[in-house]
Structure 1
Amino acid sequence: MKKRLVALVAAGILLLTACAKIENITFTATIENVSDNNILVATTEDVGFDKASVRLTDVKIDFNLTKGQTVELTILPEIAESYPVQVTAVDIKQVK
């Protein structure tokens, strides 16, 4: 009986941890290239990748994106493992 209870509690804990919400990722980067609905950036922080192709389809941008500009990006946690990685932005801010 005790073993079953311990196993049931352990299974419940595993289920709860598997359902934990994964947070968005925020980092600073320098724009290397600008195209329609997409930018190529080089990260200035250690976020697990050095370059990223960033989709901007659902992001409101209040400034002109230019090569060499530093921006703060918030991306969805889903990262396509390619080179450069492919990510989707949810927010972009100009760093002054």
Structure 2
Amino acid sequence: MYNSHTRKQSSHKSPIWKNLQGTPRQPTNVECGYYVMRFMRDIIHDPALAFKKKFDNKKKPVLYTQEHIDEVRLEWGEFVNKQLQNNN
């Protein structure tokens, strides 16, 4: 974006985007933030970068259980609590 804004030519190729058909879908519209955080967490904690293979199976999509979502809620709550304690 910086290069296009400054009108400089970049030697880097543009990224190739791929839609992964087996990504988890939230059952209702109230968990979306937690689903996104869990999805990002799965990608970040995957040292082999095998998430593309994991999430690209349309016939067998990955499902997040309530335990998966609760894990993200707990991590988020601990992080916020720590930040609040550090600011006081």
Is TM-score (shorter-chain normalized) higher than 0.5? no
Which structure would you say has the larger RCO, counting Cα contacts within 8 Å and 6 or more residues apart? 2
For the pair shown, the structure with the greater C-alpha radius of gyration is 1
Larger helix percent: 2
